[in-house]
Amino acid sequence: MKKVLIYLHGFLSSPASVKAQATLAYWQQHHHDIEFVCPQLPCYPDDAKNLLDGLAQKYQDAHVGYVGSSLGGFLSTYMSDNYGGKAVLINPAAKPHEVLEEYLGEHVHPFTQERFVLKPEHMQQLEQMYQPVPVDHAQFWVLLQTEDETLDYRDAEQKYQRSKLTIEQGGDHAFQGYERFLPDIFRFLFD
């Protein structure tokens, strides 16, 4: 069966992010047997959902694993819950429809230069994708660092309490030392 890793970046991030690039570099060195997919996610939730639903259709006959950072962790949960497959979540947004409310307004995406406006309707779109707990806790490995300056790690700790959890003291939202987990991430997703 074909194996596919789908990496989903966070809000205002891109496939050029440090973690996405570290994952790509590790994949290039060690896992040519796995297809690597890392899309630039649209800025609006419904557009991102449509892109992801399309990927689910494209790879419906494959063994798919997800790595998601921040908002990408939330989206990876959506994909795993709705289409199957394991997911590794790095400092995931447990309730993005609440957290992103403080980002309502106009933005310029730092990677794509796209101008966009986040509105309350976009928070409603995220809430429609939200599940209070995962469908299958065994499908998730959640990596958290306690000094995440963007998200309260305890929200994800509570949501994924029955999943595999790795909680490190210190660190930050970018998750310092992510690359040291890559061998185990690939094993968790595909072995």
Reported as a single tens digit per residue, the pLDDT across 59-102 is 999 999 999 999 999 999 999 999 999 999 999 999 999 999 99
Quick one: 3-190 is in which CATH superfamily? Alpha/Beta hydrolase fold, catalytic domain (3.40.50.1820)
pTM of the model: 0.96
Q: Are strands 63-69 and 87-90 parallel, antiparallel or unpaired?
A: parallel
> 184-187 — which CB contacts under 8 Å span 24+ positions?
185/23, 185/67, 185/88, 185/141, 186/5, 186/26, 186/27, 186/30, 186/31, 186/34
Q: Consecutive 10-residue runs of the chain (191 residues): their mean pLDDT?
A: 97 96 96 96 97 98 98 98 97 95 94 95 96 93 97 96 97 96 98 91
8 Å CB contact between 163 and 135 = no
- 10 Å Cβ neighbour count for 110? 11
Quote the CA–CA distance of 134 and 27 in Å, as a whole number.
27
- 10 Å Cβ neighbour count for 2? 11
